[in-house]
Structure 1
Amino acid sequence: MILYKHFANKISRSVHTRHQLTPHRKGHPIPRDRLLHRWFKLMSNKKKAIKFHQHNSLKFRPLSSSLFPQSFICCRPRKVWPVNIFIFASSYGIAKHLNRTLIINENFLPFFKMEAKQSPVRISHDMSLCNRYTIHLEQTATRFDTRLMDFSLKPRLYLHGFLQSWKYFQGAEKEIRQLFHFNDNLIRSAQHKLDIFKKEFFKGKSIPNSVVFVGVDIRRKGLKKYLNEYMAPKEYFKNAIEYFYYHYNNVIFVGCTDSHEWVKKYLADVNVIPVKQLLLQMCVLSICNHTITSPGAFGWWSAWLANGTTTYYTPSQKTRRLHPNKFSASNEDHYPLNWVAISEDKKNENK
């Protein structure tokens, strides 16, 4: 009877907590399958035992390693995939800072290779481990929440929020850039589109030895759905175009947009590339030399992956007074410090 209770307690902990390994009293780990096998011998009805084992084994997915993570961070995807890039990158940076295992869905970011040569963060796809955790909400979407970087006493965390700050993954940029490599077919398609675009642009002319591609992300229709994101006006794009004309030679502005008519009407210097798929648009922008962004996660990550000179829209003081609830007091948590802030004012202070 004592032996019966001993294995009953072990099986209860193994099934309900979904551990892959259950510690023995002497400190040696007992594999879950072997523990179940011993338990079945003690049960009187073997048919029910086998049925019980098969039913629970379908729910259990083993980890890639033989050791169960004692502390981990869970993150779940949202409906908007550019936001999921923020969630993964920030969760990865926090996991590295806290020395945790990062648990994500297997198809979290399917368009990236997600391969790193030397990653200090172990990534697991066993979402069953996330059944029990402590939920932590971020305070503001585009502000850096220092509380999320200090959870040493809470081993199992679920970070709920948008996590749209570069400070969360500061120090992990090298690994994230290795993980965020687009699939080969997508890169070849984007490079082919850009090569055709270059030939048509210089049709009948000699192509210069050095051509600077500046990707221009122009979002109008999508941003109307969100009250907290103010659409960048045409004056901002014109000032950003002047900024690149001032600092670079042989500049070609490659536009990716959801409003072709608006671009033709107001931005004559921007040449819209004929790409409708959003993922391919981001890939095209990422292989450009520099970027002019619009507010939103799509333009943010297109610029970060391009890793060149980047401009972002910052409203003027007049616009802030007219719309006090739409803009935060500071953008330093959301935009990297080396990015160039440009407003809609006629005077461009960044020259």
Structure 2
Amino acid sequence: MQQYLLSKFCFPLRDNNDYCRYFQSRMAETKFRAFGFGILIALFIIYYLLFHETQVKPTIIFMNKNTSSERKTSHMYSFVINEKLVPNFISKIFDKAQLPASCLVIIRTTDGGIGNRMFLFASAYGFARLHQCDLYAAPWIVKDLRSIFTIHLNETPVHLVTNDSVANQTGVYGRYSACTLFDDLLKIPLDPNLIRYEMIGFYQAFGYFIKYKEEISYLFQFNQFATKNNVPLVEQLLKVTWNIPLNLGNYTKDNVTHQYLKSLLTRPPAPLIPVTWIGIHIRRGDFLTFFKIDTSSGYLNLAMNYYRRKYINCRFLIASDDKDYAKTNLGNHSDIFITPNSFFSGDDLAALALCEHTIVTAGSYGWWAGWLAGGNVVHDLNYPVAKQKCLREHYFPPWFLFPQNSSSQQPPPMRLPNQ
């Protein structure tokens, strides 16, 4: 078309080449401008597809944090958002915008201690995360959890609803669970009858949240209060184990992180010989009467010997609701330490999470100590009890181990692997 116009325009002006050349230059300039405009449109479309969907503008710097394969089995990847270190799962949040929530998960009642509330909250989070639901957690539950943990829900895809009237509307379907994994809660799409769902009871089944393991661990980061209370304990352990002082580096006792305290114990500077820290939680108290179970010292010694064979230079850190029992039965060993009597439940949990592996007797508190510490977990077979009607495959993750002899006479135990 351009050539046709050019020939028609230039032919009658063939005796005046200046006009012809002027027309040709204008045509070339127009063509160049159109080409440049097309390039700008293409770049804008590419930018929109790659970045605009997230509607987030953080400064992201990827970092690889390697750990020894002997002491840790995985590589952890993290990135920095506005100079704040955040686990890699949050990068997935920036990958696409969250759709408006079309359902609601409700938790407002729970019995027992902090371990029970952690289970209920984690299961509710996992359910809400899977189906892109809003989460209503009773303010007292959130407050109780935040007395120990950070619970940074604003940095996750799940939106926390705080308006009580939302949870009090009609059409809420409530169902009780001790530790049952309901298959219909995991089906996609969610049954329309379950889009306003209240979790009643305990929901102690890891299947509700195992898919979001990193996010759960991020929510259950220890706050400054629980971390600060463990500084003197770490100082004592460093002194007794290696005869070295506490070095907080650029931190102070008021702002040191739990992760940094753990690194002081698990990665001592050369030429110090590393040790393997194993946390032990001994649950007694109301379990002696309510569940009529008691962990034997034989089980505890068997579990400790398992770790002594598996790792060199083991050290054991015990937390218990009956520390006199722990001191009487296990306190005379040079490789065993017991948390102070002044520690409350959050302090003890933070102390157990400083370790690399765990020994658990019974209860959800010890279960979560093992989860937060990472590594292997050796668990007694006396819990859950029969009247709880809990399937072991629902309650225990696959990395939990069970000794051959147990404190109880429950169904055939699983043997510890020969390692």
On whether the aligned pair clears a TM of 0.5, the verdict is yes
The offset of 1:203, in angstroms, is: 5.9
Alignment of 1:134-283 (within 5 A): 134-139=172-177, 141-150=178-187, 151-154=190-193, 155-201=195-241, 208-227=272-291, 230-267=293-330, 268-269=332-333, 270-275=336-341, 276-283=343-350
Taking structure 1 as the reference length, the TM-score comes to 0.70
Confirm or deny that 1:341 pairs with 2:373.
Answer: no
The offset of 1:136, in angstroms, is: 2.7
Distance (whole Å) between structure 2 residues aligned to residue 157 and residue 330 of structure 1: 23
Alignment of 1:281-292 (within 5 A): 281-292=348-359
Distance (whole Å) between structure 2 residues aligned to residue 329 and residue 68 of structure 1: 35
The offset of 1:201, in angstroms, is: 4.9
How many residue pairs get aligned? The number is: 276
Q: In the TM superposition, what whole-angstrom CA distance separates every residue of 1:21-60 from its partner, at most 9, and x where no partner exists?
A: xxxxxxxxxxxxxxxxxxxxxxxxxxxxxxxxxxxxxxxx
The offset of 1:179, in angstroms, is: 1.1
- Larger mean Cα displacement after TM superposition, 84-93 or 115-124: 115-124
Distance (whole Å) between structure 1 residues aligned to residue 217 and residue 340 of structure 2: 27
Distance (whole Å) between structure 2 residues aligned to residue 299 and residue 166 of structure 1: 14
- Give the letter aligned to residue 92 of structure 1: Y
Distance (whole Å) between structure 1 residues aligned to residue 322 and residue 137 of structure 2: 34
Alignment of 1:12-51 (within 5 A): none
The offset of 1:198, in angstroms, is: 3.5
Given the alignment, which residue of 137, 141, 151 partners 1:114? Answer: 151
The offset of 1:197, in angstroms, is: 2.9
Confirm or deny that 1:88 pairs with 2:128.
Answer: no
The offset of 1:217, in angstroms, is: 0.4
Distance (whole Å) between structure 2 residues aligned to residue 78 and residue 138 of structure 1: 11
Distance (whole Å) between structure 2 residues aligned to residue 327 and residue 160 of structure 1: 15
Q: 1:93 to 1:314 in 2, by over 3 A?
A: same
- Kept after mapping to 2: 8 A contact 1:314/1:343: no
Q: Secondary structure at the residue paired with 1:172?
A: helix
Q: 1:309 to 1:195 in 2, by over 3 A?
A: farther
Distance (whole Å) between structure 1 residues aligned to residue 132 and residue 390 of structure 2: 33
Q: In the TM superposition, what whole-angstrom CA distance separates every residue of 1:108-146 from its partner, at most 9, and x where no partner exists?
A: 22222112685232222222200024233245x133222
Alignment of 1:67-106 (within 5 A): 69-79=101-111, 80-106=113-139
Which position in structure 2 is the counterpart of 1:33?
none
Q: 1:177 to 1:232 in 2, by over 3 A?
A: same
Q: 1:81 to 1:242 in 2, by over 3 A?
A: same
- Give the letter aligned to residue 131 of structure 2: L
Q: 1:91 to 1:203 in 2, by over 3 A?
A: same
- Kept after mapping to 2: 8 A contact 1:104/1:126: no
Higher relative contact order (CA 8 A, sep 6+): 1
- Kept after mapping to 2: 8 A contact 1:213/1:252: yes
Q: Secondary structure at the residue paired with 1:332?
A: helix
- Kept after mapping to 2: 8 A contact 1:243/1:350: no
Structure 1 stretches of 4+ moved >6 Å: none
Distance (whole Å) between structure 2 residues aligned to residue 213 and residue 136 of structure 1: 42
The offset of 1:348, in angstroms, is: 6.5
- Give the letter aligned to residue 260 of structure 1: K
Q: 1:295 to 1:284 in 2, by over 3 A?
A: same
Distance (whole Å) between structure 2 residues aligned to residue 153 and residue 328 of structure 1: 28
Q: In the TM superposition, what whole-angstrom CA distance separates every residue of 1:255-292 from its partner, at most 9, and x where no partner exists?
A: 11122332233324432121431110001111211111
Distance (whole Å) between structure 1 residues aligned to residue 103 and residue 391 of structure 2: 34
Q: Tell me, which stretches of 5 or more residues in structure 1 are unaligned?
A: 1-66
Q: In the TM superposition, what whole-angstrom CA distance separates every residue of 1:139-160 from its partner, at most 9, and x where no partner exists?
A: 5x13322233344203211111
Higher Rg of the two aligned structures: 2
Q: In the TM superposition, what whole-angstrom CA distance separates every residue of 1:67-101 from its partner, at most 9, and x where no partner exists?
A: 98542111114242221110010011111222211
Which position in structure 1 is the counterpart of 2:42?
none
Matched-pair identity in % = 22
- Give the letter aligned to residue 121 of structure 2: F
- Kept after mapping to 2: 8 A contact 1:135/1:160: no
Q: How much is the aligned-residue C-alpha RMSD, in angstroms?
A: 3.1
- Give the letter aligned to residue 240 of structure 1: A
Which position in structure 2 is the counterpart of 1:30?
none
- Kept after mapping to 2: 8 A contact 1:230/1:326: no
